[in-house]
A and B are shown apart, each in its own frame.
Chain A
Amino acid sequence: MKNTFIARNPSVLWFLLALAVFTVVVTILSEATGFGLISTSFLKTLGKTLCLCLVAIAMDVVWGYCGILSLGHFAFFGIGGYAIGMWLMYARTEGLVQVSLQSAALPPTPQEITDAIGSQIFGVVGSSDFPVIWAFSHSLTLQLLAVILVPGLLALIFGWLAFRSRVTGVYLSILTQAMTLAMSLYFFQNDTGLRGNNGLSGLQNIPGLEDRSQAVVSLWFFWASAVALALGYVLFAYVVSGKFGSVVRAIRDNEARVRFLGYHVEQYKLFIFTLTAMVAGIAGALYYPQAGIINPAEIAPIASIYLAVWVAIGGRGRLYGAVIGAALVSLLSSWFTGGSAPDINLGFYVIKWTDWWLVLLGLSFVLVTLYFPKGIGGIFDALDRKRMGGDAS
């Protein structure tokens, strides 16, 4: 079985090989091992990019393979980040509070510790009580479960409602966008207990690893992201291959026909939608400790649309396309908007890339949609055809 899966998907091996080489090279060049050619901040950028690639292949599976243009998967990504962020913030604040309460005359009671943590975390939104949703924030295990279960459950409920009433196509996209907007508005509120638009911060300080330098911790997270991407890639490659994958692609191409053939279309869609949401949550949980801060703006509908943009530019319906698209566009974005791209002086006007990058991105996006619907991945197809003698369709 394993052999046939690999045999049918040679690209998986190539991808894993490329990822392994990349990881080893980056590790050798990182600050932690002494070469220091790759700064810690750039290492974090690379690690974050790997997480974005992971959520992009999830998006590719749900859109490129199953035909559901979800404009909400980046919200699941954000929820994963919030879930892990709650533990990171709680545990770190607990450590700080323990130290500061040492000086008190009496040793602190558990209640006093909780109160102190509460006022530390929620003081910024004028509260000090722990909201219900923080009930498990003291436990890493439970919050790790939440990383997977909360996006999974949300996707399950939303998907069940949407697919059951046969909302499809653009209507479904709009509905997912509405869901995303609702979620981001929910996170924006001060009284929902997630610190409103302050978000969660200080996530780069991992409790228990205070004595390790950021260079080392970043490298560990980079490795974790690479492993997660590799596992995710294999998982999705497995899911979309074989009979199951054929049905999923058939749903994309003609949903009604698949239904008439006797398949439970809704169950297939629901499975894909939920699974990809869970993977998006995991990707977010790895991303935000490297980013250090998460706020509701990250969940806004626009972020999910950018996710679709990456996948479209990289090439839908092929997993490596999503990886290429996400890596390329997000790295270019951070290069252009980071201010390090050279401005172009036209004599009468200076093109500042911080101002014009989005214009370029938007235009290239329109062009890709119009003329290269297969995205960058289409180039590989063209190469393939050339090698095969130009007869493959």
Chain B
Amino acid sequence: MLRLLLVCLALCFAAPFAHAQSLQAILQDHAEAIESPSRRTVDAVIASLADAPVDGIPTFLEDWRDKNIWMRTSDGVFFSVVEDGDGLILTDLDSGEETTVADDDGFSQAKPNAGVRRVISGALVQFLLSDPDISRRIAALESIGRDPSADQLDPLRASIDGEPDADVLARKQQLERQLTAQFGTDTDARIAAINDLSGDLSVEVRGVISQILTTRQFVAASIPDDTNVAQILVIDEDLTADEAYQLLVAEGLAPATVSTEDIVSTLTAQIADGQVAGVAVATLDTDAARYAAYETLVANGDAAPFVSPEERAAALDAHTFYTAYVEPNSAITDAAEDAQAAISVQLGVGQTFDLTLDALSLASIYFLAAIGLAITFGVMGVINMAHGEFIMMGAYTGYVVQQIVPDYTVSILIALPLAFMVTFAAGVAMERLVIRHLYHRPLETLLATFGIAIVLQQLAKNIFGTQARPLTSPDWLAGAWVLNDVVQISYIRIAIFVLALLFLGLILFILKRTRLGLEVRAVTQNPGMAASMGINPDRINMLTFGLGSGIAGIAGVAIGLYAKVTSEMGADYIVQSFMTVVVGGVGNVWGTLAGASLIGFTQKGIEWFNPSNTLAAQTYMILFVILFIQFRPKGIVALKGRAAGD
């Protein structure tokens, strides 16, 4: 009890003493540096704050950074300030007591510049890593991730033990590994950290590893002993002789060569009376003449001599060209090289997988665009050049529905069947009015439907204008499924893939398992015989054409979700769709699937070789298709026997 009393007493006496060690007191020690901070002085302030046993330092640092610290000029006391019109609301840094002053005369604001603010933010990190507010801890970790540095390592390690949140803890450990690998002082610890990182595909880790493996190019007569050599460069293999010599010149180890520009400038400088080196300027219109004139100048001592090939070769021979790691410890760079090799293998696997996903989604888009065409063209033998415009109509239907129904999920659910109905009706109307009359003139069908395509495209342009209209996907379709930093695929593409599968099943079901499908197949094989069996070929043709067009409408909604809706979007798909059908084999749903897969995978495969140029990929893909048809004129899945017809 007595002891407790003593402690209380001690605290009472200690309190004023502690008050002397208040934040304000520390600040007063550095008053000048705080009031007008500079890059030169800020480090000292932060160092003394970091060791101080007082509260409120993070808040102060934030205020300071955000230019909320003002000094009362009369006594030099600092306040945290909120500006209130002309006046100021002052908060005492230690007690938190608020006072209001009417105007800011007699106060001066501390205005750290951008560089100082960056330093303050960096210093804040170590305080914030243990902040009770989780969002501030996360922000601090983000700032470390953006801009890692050696001095963050110790505060980060210190904060790991007390971390209550599992996610934040995992992130802290992850960053700790990276920082240790990069900035650790103990070789074994660094190697252990690097080994830990070697399974990680994230961009961050790849950055850390390549940071450790940073090399510089050097040239020297002999390699210094303490160098961590990455590679000895062989001239003509790793670098050209010209580059190597330029390196020598840059290091001052060899005389500069005389470039074409040097010759021109030297000659130009010495022109007198239309002559240079005794030659008329007008004759210097070839490189040979200029060289000759320059040689004359050299002989007269008026210009720097050429470096002869022998001298060049000798200089190159006398030196070793090599790259060396910035990191001096070879054990660490070896470990990092191993890690990089392991990562690049995984990276290759990941990229291949990602490419496969991309190709699959492209294939499903082609499939969706082409499956309606496969029905009208494949099953009925009717070329419908307006098919692309039906896709466009479907997309615009989706757009109009979204204008009326604001909820995106509901509007998509309405748009899909509505698009089907609209294009089904359009398809039936077109079949009744035009195509019916042209069944035996396929080339003319092509032209007539092209006329319709022009009309539909221009009508869409007149109604909706030329600018692209958005078709917004619902929230649950936004974003992407991220496996890691290499493999990711957007949910819309997954949805399109699912939709394509759905339609494959649906169409197979209709064609193979329903009365309509049976009749369609009968009419396809032999209209006359089908008619004598009591099937009405007119009705079947109409329904088939409507079905094919309706699916185009649904494909339009799906395509509109990830691409912009324009009046010309149909034209972008029509050629690819036809090729999909032709490559796959006419008259067969499986063929269309095979064609779409082949084209999708080929195009993505070509893009992989030349990622920056999708136009080239499309060009070569088309050439590939033209050649492919040479070898399999009837497509991948060719009908055999009587069904093939001719």
Contacts and interface: CB of A to CB of B under 8 A. Distances in A.
Contacts of B451: 309, 361-366, 369
A318 to B, nearest CB: 17
A171 interface: yes
Nearest to B430: A366
Interface of A is mostly: helix
Given A362-B455, A365-B454, A312 B447 contact: yes
A175 B444 CA distance: 17
Interface stretch (A37-45, A102-110, A222-230, A281-289): A102-110
A355 interface: yes
B544 to A, nearest CB: 18
A189 B616 contact: yes
Contacts of B458: 355-356, 358-359, 362
Give the top 5 A-B pairs by smallest Cβ distance, nearest first: A362-B454, A365-B451, A362-B455, A182-B622, A358-B458
A169 interface: yes
A107 B279 CA distance: 13
Interface stretch (A2-10, A75-83, A160-168, A324-332): A160-168
Contacts of A182: 618-619, 622-623, 626
A188 interface: yes
Interface in A352-392: 355-356, 358-359, 361-366, 369-370, 373
B281 A105 contact: yes
B438 interface: yes
A165 B268 CA distance: 65
Interface in A150-170: 158, 161-162, 164-167, 169-170
B267 interface: yes
A167 B448 contact: no
B9 interface: no
B226 interface: no
Interface in B452-486: 452-455, 457-459, 461-462
A188 B619 CA distance: 10
Interface in B27-80: none
Given A161-B626, A165-B629, A366-B434, A174 B582 contact: yes
Contacts of A194: none
A111 B287 contact: yes
Given A106-B284, A358-B455, A177 B578 contact: yes
A55 B437 CA distance: 30
A167 B453 CA distance: 25
A182 B606 CA distance: 14
Contacts of A356: 458, 462
Nearest to A177: B575
Contacts of A169: 442-443
Contacts of B571: 302
Contacts of B630: 161, 164-165
Contacts of B441: 373
B448 A106 contact: no
Contact of A185 (B286, B618, B633): B618
Nearest to B450: A305
A109 B548 CA distance: 65
Given A105-B281, A308-B447, A365-B447, A370 B437 contact: yes
B264 interface: yes
Interface residues of A, number: 50
A370 B575 contact: no
Interface of A: 69, 105-111, 158, 161-162, 164-167, 169-171, 173-175, 177-179, 181-182, 185-186, 188-189, 191, 301-302, 305, 308-309, 312, 355-356, 358-359, 361-366, 369-370, 373
Interface in B253-300: 264, 267-268, 271, 281-287, 290
A69 B282 contact: no
A170 B383 contact: yes
A79 to B, nearest CB: 15
Contact of B287 (A109, A312, A355, A370): A109
A217 to B, nearest CB: 32
A289 B3 CA distance: 107
A108 B287 CA distance: 9
A309 B448 CA distance: 9
30 contacts: A106-B267, A106-B268, A106-B281, A106-B284, A106-B285, A107-B285, A109-B290, A161-B627, A162-B626, A164-B630, A167-B629, A167-B633, A171-B582, A173-B443, A175-B582, A178-B625, A179-B626, A185-B619, A185-B622, A189-B613, A189-B616, A191-B616, A358-B455, A359-B462, A362-B452, A363-B455, A365-B448, A366-B452, A369-B444, A369-B447
B332 interface: no
Interface in B399-452: 434, 437-438, 441-444, 446-448, 450-452
Given A106-B264, A181-B622, A189 B615 contact: yes
A111 B615 CA distance: 33
